[in-house]
Amino acid sequence: MPELRLDHLTIDYPARDRGPAYRAVGGVSLTVAPGEFVSVVGPSGCGKTSLLHAVAGLVPAAAGTVSFGGTPIRGPGPERAVVFQHASLLPWRTVLGNVAYGLELRRVPRREARARARAMVELVGLGDAASRYPHELSGGMQQRVNLARALAPEPAVLLMDEPFAALDAQTRDAMQAELLRIWAASRTSVLFVTHHIEEAVFLGDRVVVLSPGPGATVRECVPVPFDRPRDTALRRTPGFVALADHVWSTLAGARDRKAPHERANLETR
């Protein structure tokens, strides 16, 4: 089974005025196994979007490689799909038209594209809103469309860039649970980037903690032991709180990196 592998991935942005290039990401290595959900957490501006865009093939790697199933990635490809931070819906297309967009670009016959888009719209719970335009949708609904559009071409890996960051806390919680349900139904792997610690822990099989930029690297890779399916009540268990706390202290660069996550393991068993 193909896995997604980042090997010492480094991303530079050329500086203006002949200065040195700005190193956004400085050698990140990680793998995403088939069907795995990997959260990447890091402070705002540390290079999460850059990292994700490099995996998507939208931004070149200055050094290191991204490969899928052993084949190096040089540009966008059908095995990956991006869920953007801002929903980026085509405002002149309906929900259904937006979800069918990726299929149309891949030259899936129109009738089949519509049918698959329709199924995706149902899957994300927007069946009643299929003929609405984006400006008639709430932020949460727009992100559902964003997700459905990415899933429609059945990618092997879903790349998600803080898709719930702009939502209110309640909608955000609901969307996280929805995402887990939809992911379970689709069985793609997910690389999910966020600055929100609780979100990273709640969703992921593992949480990759990045250091702040410039030159972000992996600080630690924290396994998340909680059983699936997970529901919202999990967030209030002591084990969850302890693990989130551990991620927080890793992120903050604290020295103390011992007990909490072992304790989390014990308490959930």
Partner 1 sequence: MTAPPAVNGHTVHNGLKPGAIPGRARVSRRGGRIRRRGLWLGALGVAVTLAAWELCAAYGLVDQMLASRPSQILVAGRDYFTTGTGRRDLLVSGTEFLAGFGLALVVGLGFGLAVGWWRWLDQLTEPLVSFAYASPRIALVPLLVVWFGIGLGSKVAVVFISAVFPIVLSTRTGVRTADRALLTLARAFDANRRQIFRTVILPGAVPSIVTGVRLAIGVGLVGMVVGELIASSEGLGYTILYAGNTFQTPLMFVALFVVSGAGVLMTAAVRAAERRLDRWRPDGHA
Ligand X SMILES: Nc1ncnc2c1ncn2[C@@H]1O[C@H](COP(=O)(O)OP(=O)(O)O)[C@@H](O)[C@H]1O
Interface contacts to partner 1, rule CB under 8 A: 56-58, 75-78, 81-82, 84, 86, 88, 90-93, 101-102, 104-106, 125, 128-129, 132-136, 138, 140-141, 153, 170-171, 174, 178
Instruction: Report what 129 binds from ligand X, Mg ion, partner 1, none; CB cut-off 5-8 Å by kind.
Output: partner 1
Per rule CB under 6 A, count of chain residues that contact ligand X:
12
Work out how close the CB of 260 gets to ligand X at its nearest, in angstroms, rounded to a whole number.
Answer: 24
Burial class (CB in 10 A: 0-12, 13-18, 19+), 109: exposed
Q: Which of 45, 57, 125, 225 binds ligand X (CB under 6 A)?
A: 45
Give the shortest CB-164-to-Mg ion separation in angstroms.
13
Q: Tokens 């790349």 label which residue?
A: 159
What track of x and - describes contact with ligand X for positions 56 through 75 (by CB under 6 A)? --------------------
CB of 54 to Mg ion, least distance (A): 13
Q: Which of 21, 44, 105, 228 binds ligand X (CB under 6 A)?
A: 44
**Does 13 contact ligand X by CB under 6 A?**
yes
Least distance in Å: CB of 48 to Mg ion? 5
How many Cβ atoms are within 10 Å of 195's Cβ, its own excluded? Answer: 18
Q: Which amino acid is at 7?
A: D
69: left (phi over 0), alpha (psi -120 to 50) or beta: left
Q: How far is the CB of 43 from ligand X (least distance, A)?
A: 7
Three-class SS of residue 246? helix
Measured CA to CA in angstroms, residue 139 lies from 87, 97, 144 at distances of 8, 18, 9
DSSP string, 83-110: E-SS----TTS-HHHHHHHHHHHTT--H
For partner 1, give the closer residue by CB, 79 or 220.
79
- Does position 46 interact with ligand X (CB under 6 A)? The reply is yes
Query: From the list partner 1, ligand X, Mg ion, none, which binds 232 (C-beta under 5 to 8 Å, kind-based)?
Result: none
How many C-beta atoms lie closer than 10 Å to residue 69's C-beta?
12
229 preceded by cis ω (within 30°)?
Answer: yes
Report whether 172 contacts 164 (CB < 8 A): yes
Provide the minimum distance between the beta carbon of 5 and ligand X in the complex, in angstroms, as a whole number: 20
Decide whether 66 or 126 has the Cβ nearer to ligand X.
66
E strand or H helix at 262, and its extent? helix 259-268
Amino acid identity at 61: A
Which residue lies nearer to partner 1 by CB, 76 or 109? 76
Quick one: which of 26, 47, 97, 134 contacts ligand X (CB under 6 A)?
A: 47
> Which residues in 86-107 are b (16+ Cβ under 10 Å) and which e?
ebebeeeebbbbbbbbbbeeee
**DSSP for residue 74:** -
- Nearer residue to partner 1 within complex by CB, 89 or 210: 89
Asked if 24 is part of the footprint of ligand X (rule: CB under 6 A), the reply reads yes
